Amino acid sequence: MCGIVGYVGRAEATPILLDGIRRLEYRGYDSAGIATLEEGVISIRKEVGRIDKLVEAVARNPIGGTTGICHTRWATHGKVTRENAHPHQDRSGKLALVHNGVIENYASLRAMMEGEGHRFLSQTDTEVLAHLIGRAFDRSAVRTREVLVDAVREALTKVTGTYGIAVIHSEFPGLIIGARRGSPLVLGIGKGEYFLASDVSAIVAHTRDVVYLNDYEIALITAEGFTLSTVQGEGAASHVTKVEMTEEDTGKGGYPHHMLKEIHEQARTVADAMRGRLSHEEATAKLGGLNMSNAELRAVERIVLSGCGTAFHAAMVGEYLIEHLAQIPTECEYASELRYRNLPMTKDTLVFVLSQSGETADTLAAMRESRRKGHRTLGICNNVASTIARESDGGVYMHAGPEIGVAATKSFTSQVTILVLIALLLGRIRNLSSAAGGRIIEELEALPSLIEQVLKLEPVIERVAKRHAHAKVMLFLGRQYNYPVALEGALKLKEISYIAASGHPSAELKHGVIALVNPETPSVFIAPHDTLFSKNLSNIEEVKARGGPIIAIGTEGRSEELAKLCDDLILIPDAPEILTPILTSIVLQFFAYHIAVELGCDVDKPRNLAKSVTVE
Active site residues: 2, 611
Give the span between the Cα atoms of 81 and 87, in whole angstroms. Answer: 13
Displacement of CA 544 from its chain's centroid (Å) = 38
CB–CB of 407/603 below 8 Å? yes
Reference 72, options 97, 100, 95; nearest CA is 100
Let me know: does 570 contact 461? Beta carbons within 8 Å: yes
Neighbours of 327 (CB within 10 A): 13
370-371-372-375 Cα dihedral, nearest 10 degrees = 80
Q: Report CA torsion sign: 221, 224, 228, 233.
A: negative
**Residue ranges of E strands in 467-547:** 473-478, 500-505, 523-526
| First and final C-alpha spacing in the chain | 10
Mapping DSSP to helix (H, G, I), strand (E, B) and coil, where does residue 514 land?
helix
Strand partners, 11: none
Q: Give the three-class secondary structure for 387.
A: helix
d(CA 584, CA 593): 14
CA-based Rg of the chain, rounded to a whole angstrom?
26
Specify the 3-state DSSP secondary structure of 152: helix
